[in-house]
Amino acid sequence: MLRCAQHDNSEMTIQTIQPAPHALHGSIRVPADKSISHRAAILASLADGKTRIENYLQSETTHATLDCLRALGTEIEMHDATTLSIRSRGLRGLSEPKDVLFCKGSGTTMRLLAGLCAGQDFLSILDGTHALKRRPMARVAEPLRAMGATILARDNGKLPPLAIRGGKLHGLDYALPVASAQVKSAILLAALFADSPTTLHEPSASRDHTERMLLACGVKLQVAGCKLQIEPATELRITHHASRIPNDFSSAAFFIVAALIVPQSEICIERVGVNETRTGLLDALLRMGAHIKIENVSEESGEPVGDIVIQSAELRGTQVHGDEIPRMIDEFPIFAIAATQAQGETIVRDAQELRVKESDRIATLANELRKMGAQIEERADGFVITGPTPLHGARVAAQSDHRLAMSLAVAGLVARGETIIEGWECVADSFPNFDKILEGIR
Ligand code: S3P
């Protein structure tokens, strides 16, 4: 890995990936779930008393959430890199931050905290990096305004920073225009502070970690398919006062695809969260002919976890659309790498949300993968990949997108020659030790 200074004085890291000299073998553990880590910290900051969280994700984004919660008056003590205790002053115990809440590049931090701050009778200003300033915020601001919060934002109320004056919220009956767990969670958090119940209708099911945690805290929440009804709360009670975060399926996804496409490989990824609202990638890969098994399924902090065993396989193209999209929304960059090695066409539709992720993932995937020889056609709401293509090493750019960076690294394992990835530092957003884990199975 090479570090070099950029014109704005920040450091850019360049990662070089050599083709895998032989099959991948071994058992690995990937880091903790990013989505669940954010939520565990936010809910612990509202729940009565002290909560211990084990296996908290150590990353730029999840630490941004901790910093913001501290600025809102929550006491957080780190015992080691991944274990912490959060002491809360209860549901109504947050206080006005003296400074801007800096969410770094984390969309989850900004959107979930927008919901939390909408419930508070004080001023909060949420800001982030240049990359975050491009992410759409009207999707949270509009329903929160409809509940009674005052929210000002750039570009006619649509882009960060957000200035929120909350409190005195009313319940809402709201149909989400997009299936987004971030938007759903923001409204659920605000709804805890409203004076009447809130009903939400999702167009299709998105990840349900917030619902699971709220139910575990004694919140009155009813879920019937894509309809949710939540009552305002007077307190949150965390029954165990300790929770262990499962390992992240979205981080496991890079190694699932790596083991599938590097011939003769067999790996096991231990104790991974396998919540069905997250594992659409497995369904798509199984249709493509993948050899994947989930073993030793048990429950950890209200979430199913299991060991995922993968053997390399000959893949064939498939189609992904409709309700499957939110169930694998973060996995399209790595799914695209699998598709380049599959026989025939892989078609992704209804995935226009990919355009507003950490990068415009339809455009960045197409641009970067073409540099490695992939046949990829960009569509307004997805892409078509024709395979199998022998990839070749190239100089590619991560485009400030951690999932794109790691997907290109996996592509590099099956490419001819060296792959050079510029902007590798963004991997710290979710998976700082990716390269060490990859080295361990090569
Ligand atoms: C997340 C939800 C998804 C996902 C993001 C994390 C969450 O975003 O892409 O990485 O933790 O709720 P959307 O809900 O906007 O689809």
Spell 209-245 as b/e; 16+ CB within 10 A means b. bbbbbbebbebebeeeebebbbbbbeebebeeeebbb
- pLDDT for residue 11: 76
- pLDDT for residue 288: 98
Q: Are 153 and 160 in contact (CB under 8 A)?
A: yes
pTM (predicted TM-score): 0.97
Q: How confident is the model at residue 3 (pLDDT cuts 50, 70, 90)?
A: low
- Are both 27 and 93 inside the same structural domain? no
Residue closest by Cα to atom 10 of ligand 1: 330
SS3 of residue 138 by DSSP: helix
Active site residues: 330
Q: What helix, strand, coil percent values describe the chain, rounded to 5?
A: 35, 30, 35
Q: How confident is the model at residue 241 (pLDDT cuts 50, 70, 90)?
A: low
Residue where a domain terminates, one of 243, 258, 282: 243
Residue closest by Cα to atom 9 of ligand 1: 330
Q: Is the dihedral of CA 163, 168, 169, 170 positive or negative?
A: negative
Does position 115 have pLDDT exceeding 60, yes or no?
Answer: yes
- Quick: pLDDT tens for 117-155: 999 999 999 999 999 999 999 999 999 999 999 999 999
CA 163 to ligand 1 center in whole angstroms:
22
- Quick: pLDDT tens for 19-75: 999 999 999 999 999 999 999 999 999 998 899 999 999 999 999 999 999 999 999
Q: Which atom of ligand 1 is nearest to the CA of 139?
A: 15
Q: Which atom of ligand 1 is nearest to the CA of 210?
A: 12
Q: Are 202 and 184 in contact (CB under 8 A)?
A: yes
CA 330 to ligand 1 center in whole angstroms:
8
- pLDDT for residue 5: 58
Q: How confident is the model at residue 80 (pLDDT cuts 50, 70, 90)?
A: very high
Dig out the tokens for 380 from the structure.
């307004």
- Are both 224 and 354 inside the same structural domain? no
- Are both 218 and 318 inside the same structural domain? no
Tell me the residue ranges of DSSP E strands in 204-262.
Answer: 221-224, 227-230, 242-244
Domains of the chain: total: 2
- Are both 172 and 190 inside the same structural domain? yes
- pLDDT for residue 2: 62
- pLDDT for residue 243: 87
Mutate to test the pocket of ligand 1, among 135, 207, 356 (most ligand atoms within 8 A of CB): 207
Mutate to test the pocket of ligand 1, among 111, 134, 176, 182 (most ligand atoms within 8 A of CB): 182
- Are both 159 and 253 inside the same structural domain? no
Residue closest by Cα to atom 15 of ligand 1: 180
CA 182 to ligand 1 center in whole angstroms:
5
Residue 423 sits in a domain of what CATH number?
3.65.10.10
Residues in CB range of 29: below 8 A, 6 or more apart: 247, 269, 270, 271
- Are both 239 and 283 inside the same structural domain? no
- Are both 10 and 90 inside the same structural domain? no
Peptide bond into 388 cis (omega under 30): yes
Helix (H) or strand (E) holding 52: strand 48-54
Across 102-116, 231-245, 247-261, least confident range: 231-245
Residue where a domain terminates, one of 243, 268, 286: 243
Residue where a domain terminates, one of 212, 243, 274: 243
- Are both 313 and 410 inside the same structural domain? yes
Residue closest by Cα to atom 4 of ligand 1: 330
The CA R_g of the chain, rounded to the nearest whole Å, is 21
Does position 7 have pLDDT exceeding 70, yes or no?
Answer: no
- Are both 383 and 338 inside the same structural domain? yes
Domain that holds residue 285: 2-32+247-440
Q: Which atom of ligand 1 is nearest to the CA of 179?
A: 16
CA 108 to ligand 1 center in whole angstroms:
6
Angle of CA points 116, 246, 17, to nearest 5° = 105
CA 293 to ligand 1 center in whole angstroms:
25
- Quick: pLDDT tens for 177-212: 999 999 999 999 999 999 999 999 999 999 999 999
- Are both 347 and 407 inside the same structural domain? yes
Q: Are 186 and 151 in contact (CB under 8 A)?
A: no
Tell me the residue ranges of DSSP E strands in 240-391.
Answer: 242-244, 266-273, 291-300, 303-311, 319-320, 344-348, 375-379, 382-387
- Quick: pLDDT tens for 388-440: 999 999 999 999 999 999 999 999 999 999 999 999 999 999 999 999 999 99
- Are both 150 and 219 inside the same structural domain? yes
Residues with CB under 6 A from ligand 1: 35, 108, 180-182, 185, 206-207, 329-330, 353
SS3 of residue 337 by DSSP: helix
- pLDDT for residue 4: 56
- Are both 20 and 145 inside the same structural domain? no
